[in-house]
Structure 1
Amino acid sequence: MELKTVTDNYKYCNSLTNYSRRKTIPVRVGDLFIGGDNPIVVQSMTTVDTMDTKGSIEQSIRMIESGCQLVRITAPSIKEAENLRKIKEGLRQRGYQTPLVADIHFTPNAAEVAAKIVEKVRVNPGNYADKKKFEVLAYTDASYQAELERIRERFLPLVKICKEHGTAMRIGTNHGSLSDRIMSRYGDTPLGMVESALEFLRICEDENYHDIVISMKSSNTQVMVQAYRLLVQKLDEGGFKPYPLHLGVTEAGDGEDGRVKSAVGIGALLEDGLGDTVRVSLTEDPEFESPVVKTLIERYNHRPELSGIPPVEDCPIDPFSYNKRKSEEVVNFGGANVPRVITDVSVIDGMQPKELKNTGHFYLPELDKWKMNDQGCDYIYSGKEPIPFMLPNGIKEILDHDSWKDHSDRKNKFPALSLDQLKSNPELHPSLNFLNLSCEEISTAIPLLSNALPVVILLSTDKAHQMQALRRAFISLLQAEINLPVVPKVKYTDADAEKTMLFAATDVGGLLIDGLGDGIMIGMDRLAMANREKALLQIKLHNSVSFGVLQAARTRMSKTEYISCPSCGRTLFDLQETTAMIRKRTDHLKGVKIGIMGCIVNGPGEMADADYGYVGSGKGKITLYKGKEVVKRSVPSERAVDELIDIIKQDGQWIEPEVSDHH
């Protein structure tokens, strides 16, 4: 990352160091307002077939009871759009006034019907007026203009209906379904995503229609964050109104992976005050989505606006493209190394070999050997008490400096010291030392640091504005041209498992997306750890969340990635069951990305990132992809997973799973 001043680069947010929400116009959706000074709105989407009126009503009620304030329902054709009336009436009769959103993709006529019934419609610019054929098209300015006129003709009737009926609209760009026209001019880029939305927005503004919310979704968290930031910048530059933003990461998956991936993208934007309504897309029943959104956004309800963190005058980070911070290589930190995972086990006294499995490494007593794992930590921080047995080759131990100094094996263990200890000119390890540094000490520390020191900084803060404090410290190091590797060390006192996942993903993931950080460490809370079993479970959680955050930020692939959509009324098979089945048979293929899509709407384009794809194409029929290419059509679903594995085998990407004792 060359050091340059890009002061204008963070016009996308009010402040990089305080919590300050972007001011937007309020958009009315039924009795609800999105944006303005209103709280962030929680939304989700039904998965039942839209023609199943009773099922849709019951599921909507379960969603509303779980905290959902806005219910989205797919309307792939006119008959579903018309059935939204029955669903709405059924909900009103049961006493639920929650506004409904119709989700429209390829069918302008369905959108026009739905806009007269529900409070909001969502259109996807990439496939509202365009058919996607993955063709590269050459345009002159005149022929491009003619295409824009064609889009205007298709889109104008909907704008007029929305204006007449007081219906709000979301212009929802999806990274995976950009039109061939946009792809041909802008490529598969955040700028292409923004331009795709602005084309539709200009038509709305020409008609003096402003009840609009905008989204820039992608299953790649880096692309998603860059696109939203760029959108805000372009809205300001282009003299548009400051429209509210709907945040979401598409196809995040399920379980811990889905939560971590969603929080990396959504959390990074919330930290900078962006986002007025949020949906977390999990491959789970929709009533499980809203509580996750609530946990993410409630963090900001009580956060003071002023943080006391020094402001950033000249920002050396480009927020619109990924550039990794340049760092010296210290053993296997920094330089071209992947980010490292340090797992804190310092609360456990007298650790047993079998307990090390909580750090991702397995001891096989019958063979008296260790089974190393792609999600086993690189370093163990044991604090004052050294681990009482020989660690497997490949894991290194970090001890507090005083304990290290008295240890017989100072060559294979590494010291962690404080700034005060560093000032007193202590004995150091010749190749690797860890410096515990709080963000608040950074200006005192900089004069004592040099790029020649064999030091990795463990950077932490006690501030509520954890991510902003860490980012500010990184900026100070960049400005001082201190290129030592830095590992953010975060800690969440009294946080349950879900909060730990979501907060670590927000705070460290948000930094990694901007190229900041050479690892991750989630600290343990000694006071809260009186119970050994609980402590071991927490160590296990911290270790797996650490790998999940690195994977979700696209900085270290340690497991198979599933780009799976959250299911909806268009889905042509049981998505949760299928995802679980595919995961069971392929989750040992490290770094392979498999897209699992319920239907073609989020199909090959939304899987633009995936190596292989499994897409519903009819009842009981599956189309299999390699990249964007169809390899097999209409495969019966009972054979489809086997055939998917055959394609992976033919491609030379398959490895046989090891039979080990931990699966």
Structure 2
Amino acid sequence: MKYCPDLFNYRRRMSHEVTIGSLKMGGVNPVRIQSMTNTSTLDTDGSVEQAIRIFNVGGELVRLTAQGVREAENLQNIRFGLIERGYRQPISADIHFNPAAAEVAAQYVEKVRINPGNFVDSARTFKKLEYDDESYRQELEKIRAKLLPLLEICRRHHTALRLGVNHGSLSDRIMSRYGDTPAGMVESSMEFLRICREENFDNIVISIKASNTVVMVQTVRLLVATMLDEGMSYPLHLGVTEAGDAEDGRIKSAVGIGALLADGIGDTIRVSLSEDPEKEIPVALKLMKHVVNCACHLPIKAEVAGVFNPYVYQRREALSVGNIGDAHVPVVVGTGSDFGDLKPDYLKSHLALFTAQQIEAAIVSPVPVKFVQLTYRDLNDELIEQLKSSENIVVILSSDHANPVGEMRAFFHTLMNKDCKVPVILYRKYVDDDKENFQVSAAADLGVLFIDGFGDGIWLENPMLNDDEVVATAFGILQASRVRTSKTEYISCPGCGRTLFNLQTTIAKVKEATKHFTGLKIGIMGCIVNGPGEMADADYGYVGAGKGKVSLYRRKECVEKNIPEEEAVEKLLALIKECEGK
């Protein structure tokens, strides 16, 4: 596992240290927390005020969009405004399509983010282009010619550079050779990294993001392994793009970011919510604290299963016991009886529960499904053989270890090494009256296991919260991990200075109009930077096209352009009804 020093024992990946103004990132420094404003960068006072709100709740770095040279120039005024108010924390410029804006911004801020997908290449068109080796090499030379002036300015002003690859904005050139794959996303980053290394510029941070948590996790793992092969150890910025808002946004972010933090990967994180940006910081802090708290723990001994591939999703092979295991979607077990629209597949009160000590009684029991409660410490060769001998046992796997992810992983890898195909339901109990903290903790603990292909069900308990809240969180983790869809998924960006409509109001309207649909994916994007690409696997898209104008998409195809904003939600609903027959 080149990307991870130890799958079972938490150990943070060692990256090299970068300097972002007064902030040190990577190396032995703590995981840094950041966010991004959604104000116009030409609004100096508004941007200063919002940045201060982010800093005041624990943000350590604030990013602002700079879509043009005018916005880049005004970053100087925002920087001065913050200093006048006593805030010297670093700020970063977010650049798309405009190398000139990046060169200006690099003179005034401590960090500049560029997107390898559109720094040189034009906007993605989804056209299949052909490049022979020579034409491809010429494209790389174009990148070098555009990048070197920026590197020189960054070097002169001690400005850090972030290479931020997004799944939704890969260039047509990368798509032509690698397709819409983790390998393509990694190569998009490596092309720029190799140039930076050749120029001896290493004050670099990297991010590779996607709204699909499985793609995001697999791609970052592959990037770490690829960098290691080429002798690189750049620090990593983690985030799930277009995660959405409310509970869905929190759970989805915790699943994706938490999975990589559990692998020891990550030097800075940004939880992207379609809400006021200062609300992102407490979620990020809770997530980081939860994962890092498992750093000092008793060692877990296990061997990695030879069939496990962390870069490609493959569900662990399990027997079918009723509707559990095999090709069945993971089930949800609930405690209590007061549930909302999402109802569990099984109730605790109806389960035939056995302990490890009662395994022989379970085997001879006449009930059709026997649920045996186990921990990793219960496993031994004799017990595994007993599990293999019965065709109607389901394991309820729990862990009270300080590192539950590592211990539960060890359980699954041991089963695979012993060719034991008993289905397994993941169980965790929390005692927490902070609903947000519960959602973040549960998603971080269990999401990574589903992404790794483990788990045939989920059972959460929390006596401090209502039954429906706990079960809804379980369903949310399954959906965020891409293993079971139970409701419409909204892929919505957090908003920035490029956003062309009131994002929060629009999301609320779209959700209200489409809440009766089941299993659809609807993208709501403030602008076209990542919109069409990040929505590539969405069924329908609502994208800002201009001031007060919206374009509607069905999958990758724009079906109606420049609709007045006040008519757009109604037209989206009509499009869905027409196509879905609902």
Assess same fold via TM > 0.5: yes
* Counterparts of 1:176 and 1:643, CA distance in 2: 24
Aligned equivalents of 1:433 and 1:597: distance in 2? 47
**Matched letter for residue 97 of structure 2:** F
Alignment of 1:104-183 (within 5 A): 104-131=95-122, 132-183=124-175
Aligned to 1:436: 373
Instruction: Label 1:432 to 1:141 Cα distance change in 2 as closer, same or farther (>3 A).
Output: same
The match for 2:22 among 28, 31, 35 is 31
Q: Give the letter aligned to residue 377 of structure 1.
A: P
Residue of structure 2 equivalent to 1:423: 360
Cα deviation, residue 154, structure 1: 1.5
User: Could you tell me which residue of structure 2 aligns to residue 244 of structure 1?
Assistant: 235
Q: How many residues align?
A: 580
1:504–1:451: structure 2 CA closer, same or farther, 3 Å change rule? Answer: farther
What is the distance in 2 between the residues matched to 1:180 and 1:486? 42
Q: Is 2:435 aligned against 1:497?
A: yes
Pairing of 1:81-480 with structure 2 (within 5 A): 81-131=72-122, 132-239=124-231, 241-345=232-336, 356=337, 358-360=338-340, 373=341, 375-382=342-349, 397-398=350-351, 415-424=352-361, 428-443=365-380, 445-450=383-388, 452-480=390-418
2:580 is aligned with 1:642: no
- Aligned partners of 2:78, 2:366: CA distance in 1, in Å? 68
Tell me if structure 1 keeps the 8 A contact 2:297–2:402. no
What displacement does 1:451 show?
Answer: 5.3
Judge conservation of contact 2:303–2:414 (CA < 8 Å) in 1.
no
TM-aligned CA deviation for residue 427 of structure 1 = 5.0
Deviation at 1:315, TM superposition (A): 4.4
CA distance in 1, matches of 2:246, 2:422: 35
Take 2:366 and 2:296, find their aligned partners in 1: how far apart are those partners?
42
Structure 2 CA distance, aligned partners of 1:195 and 1:579?
Answer: 34
Bigger radius of gyration, 1 or 2?
1
In the alignment, is the contact (CA less than 8 A) between 2:291 and 2:444 conserved in 1?
no
The one-letter code sitting in structure 2 at the alignment partner of 1:463 is H
Q: Is the 8 A contact 1:451 1:484 kept in 2?
A: no
Deviations 1:630-649 (A, max 9, x none): 10111001110111112112
Task: Report the AA paired with residue 339 of structure 2.
Answer: T
Question: Per-residue deviation at 1:433?
Answer: 1.1
Contact kept, 8 Å, 2:405 with 2:446, in 1: the verdict is yes
**Residue range with higher mean Cα deviation, 170-179 or 424-433:** 424-433
1:139 Cα offset (Å): 1.2
Decide whether aligned partners of structure 1 residues 133 and 431 sit closer, same or farther in structure 2, where only a CA change above 3 A counts.
Answer: same
Q: 1:587 aligns with which of 511, 515, 533?
A: 515
The question of whether the paired residues in 1 share the 8 Å contact of 2:319 and 2:391 is answered with no
Describe the shift of the 1:466–1:119 C-alpha distance in structure 2 as closer, same or farther (beyond 3 A).
same
Question: Which residue is 1:392 aligned to?
Answer: none
Instruction: Note if contact 2:324-2:331 (Cα within 8 Å) is conserved in structure 1.
Output: yes
The code of the aligned residue for 2:388 comes to S
Within 1, Cα distance between the matches of 2:298 and 2:503? 43
CA contact (8 A) 2:305 2:416 kept: no
Q: Deviations over 1:274-330 (max 9, x none)?
A: 000000000000000011110011124443434321142554310000001111110
* Distance of 1:634 and 1:190 partners within structure 2: 33
Please name the residue that 1:567 is paired with. 495
CA shift, 1:654, in A, is 4.8
Which amino acid in structure 2 is aligned with residue 521 of structure 1?
W
For the pair 1:68 / 2:5, whether they are aligned, the reply is no
Cα RMSD for the two superposed structures: 1.3
Deviation digits for residues 37-96 of structure 1, max 9, x if unmatched?
A: 000000000011111100000111111111110000000000000000000000000000
**TM-superposition CA deviations, 1:231-258 (whole Å, max 9, x none):** 000001122x200000000000001100
Contact kept, 8 Å, 1:451 with 1:482, in 2: the verdict is: no
Deviation at 1:430, TM superposition (A): 4.0
Displacement after TM superposition at 1:562 (Å): 0.4
Tell me the alpha carbon deviations over residues 95-115 of structure 1, each in whole angstroms, 9 at most, x when there is no partner. 001100000011110000000
Structure 1 residue 424: deviation in Å? 4.5
2:211 and 2:292 map into 1 onto residues whose CA distance is 27
Name the structure 2 match of 1:556: 484
Q: Give the counterpart of 1:596 among 521, 524, 547.
A: 524
2:222 and 2:292 map into 1 onto residues whose CA distance is: 26
Q: Which amino acid aligns with 2:157?
A: H
Q: CA deviation at 1:193?
A: 0.3
Uncovered stretches (5+) of structure 1, i.e. residues with no partner: 1-9, 346-355, 361-372, 383-396, 399-414, 530-534, 656-663
Q: CA deviation at 1:428?
A: 1.6
The residue that corresponds to 2:455 in the other structure is 517
Q: Aligned equivalents of 2:306 and 2:401: distance in 1? A: 21
In structure 2, the CA distance between the partners of 1:26 and 1:425, relative to structure 1 (3 Å rule), is closer
Identity score, percent: 51
The residue type paired with residue 415 of structure 2 is L
Give 3-state SS (helix, strand or coil) of 1:604's partner: helix
Asked if the contact 1:327/1:483 (under 8 Å) is kept, the reply is yes
Counterpart residue identity of residue 309, structure 2: D
2:59 is aligned with 1:79: no
Residues 362 and 372 of structure 2 are in contact (CA less than 8 Å); yes or no, is this contact kept in structure 1? no
CA–CA separation in structure 1 for the residues paired with 2:329 and 2:512: 27
AA of the residue aligned to 1:506: A
Verify the 8 A CA contact 1:16 1:312 in the aligned structure 2.
no
Equivalent residues of 1:213, 1:244 under 8 A apart? yes
> What is the Cα deviation at residue 165 of structure 1?
1.0
AA in 1 matched with 2:461: G
CA distance in 2, matches of 1:227, 1:335: 26
Amino acid at match of 1:512: F
For residues 495 and 139 of structure 1, what CA distance do their matches in structure 2 show?
57
Mapped to 2, the partners of 1:326 and 1:559 lie a distance apart of 26
Please give the alpha-carbon distance, in whole angstroms, between the structure 2 residues aligned to 1:491 and 1:440: 18
List gaps (5 residues or longer) in structure 2.
none
CA gap of 1:425–1:99, structure 2 versus 1, over 3 A, is closer
Amino acid at match of 2:246: G
How far apart, in 2, do the equivalents of 1:637 and 1:314 lie?
A: 53
Q: Secondary structure at the match of 2:117?
A: helix
Aligned partners of 2:9 and 2:403 also within 8 Å: yes
Letter in 1 for 2:71: E
More deviation, 417-426/59-68: 417-426
Q: For residues 603-618 of structure 1, what are the structure 2 equivalents within 5 Å?
A: 603-618=531-546
Counterpart-to-counterpart distance in 2, 1:451 and 1:232: 41
Contact 2:211–2:534, Cα closer than 8 Å, also in 1: yes
Which of residues 548, 552, 559 in structure 2 aligns to 1:624? 552
